[in-house]
A and B are shown apart, each in its own frame.
Chain A
Amino acid sequence: AQSVAQPEDQVNVAEGNPLTVKCTYSVSGNPYLFWYVQYPNRGLQFLLKYITGDNLVKGSYGFEAEFNKSQTSFHLKKPSALVSDSALYFCAVRKNNAGNMLTFGGGTRLMVKP
């Protein structure tokens, strides 16, 4: 079975500082990995995904994530945080050729303070 862990319930960072939101996964075979963001009273918005190829994936709003196969991680990063980045972030994994089963992590709340 596939699983995703987001070890931090909350990450606090000052505006302008770099941010990292951690994600580790467990899946047999090659994973498809995703990051979604949820703003208050909104649904999830797609940020970026890794399917294959370059381990560094660039996505929306200046976010990027690095796929690390040996550490089974897919951490979300941004060089300079904005207060407007404050939201709930979800990592998700799907096993290649596993149909529709997208497994989500528990979410990490990012708080960016001015």
Chain B
Amino acid sequence: ETGVTQTPRHLVMGMTNKKSLKCEQHLGHNAMYWYKQSAKKPLELMFVYSLEERVENNSVPSRFSPECPNSSHLFLHLHTLQPEDSALYLCASSPRSGADTQYFGPGTRLTVL
């Protein structure tokens, strides 16, 4: 295992629900990332946090709201999602912002009905 955990591993939600994805890293890293992996599309970087400050927001719709309360935890709050938001959401961390190697969690498989 990489030292990055994500919960839940699977989530099914309706378009009017509000849910949150959680990521935790046990590596002492200072940077954390959210990616979206859809079928037949390249991995898309959504957000980057460095020392709990958002440093990258890759034109993501406002129905996705990240939160980084400390350097070990990262959340992705979801509300009024669309079916096309169904995907695998991957969290990653690295020692510092801009560092070379990112370590990924197992992902949360999200299905929006």
| Chain A residues within CB distance 8 Å of chain B | 4, 32, 34, 36, 41-46, 49, 51, 90, 94, 97-107
- Check: B42 CB closer than 8 A to any chain A CB: yes
List the A side residues contacting B100 at CB < 8 Å: 32, 34, 49, 51, 94
Contact B98 A107 (CB under 8 A): no
Given A99-B97, A100-B55, A102-B102, check contact A45 B41 (CB 8 Å): no
A31 CB, min distance to chain B CBs, angstroms: 12
If A43-B92, A46-B103, A97-B98 are given as contacts, then 18 extra A-B residue pairs at C-beta distance below 8 Å, sorted by A number, are A4-B42, A34-B100, A41-B106, A43-B6, A43-B107, A44-B92, A99-B56, A100-B33, A100-B45, A100-B55, A100-B56, A100-B97, A104-B42, A104-B43, A105-B42, A106-B40, A106-B42, A107-B42
Contact indicator per residue, chain B 91-113, by CB within 8 Å of chain A (1) or not (0): 01000011011111111000000
Given A99-B97, A100-B98, check contact A45 B45 (CB 8 Å): no
Contact A42 B106 (CB under 8 A): yes
Residue in A49, A51, A99, A100 whose Cβ sees the most chain B Cβ within 10 Å? A100
CB-based nearest B residue for A106 = B42
Contact of A46 among B42, B101, B106 (CB under 8 A): B101
- C-alpha gap A97/B90 in the complex (Å): 24
List the A side residues contacting B50 at CB < 8 Å: 100
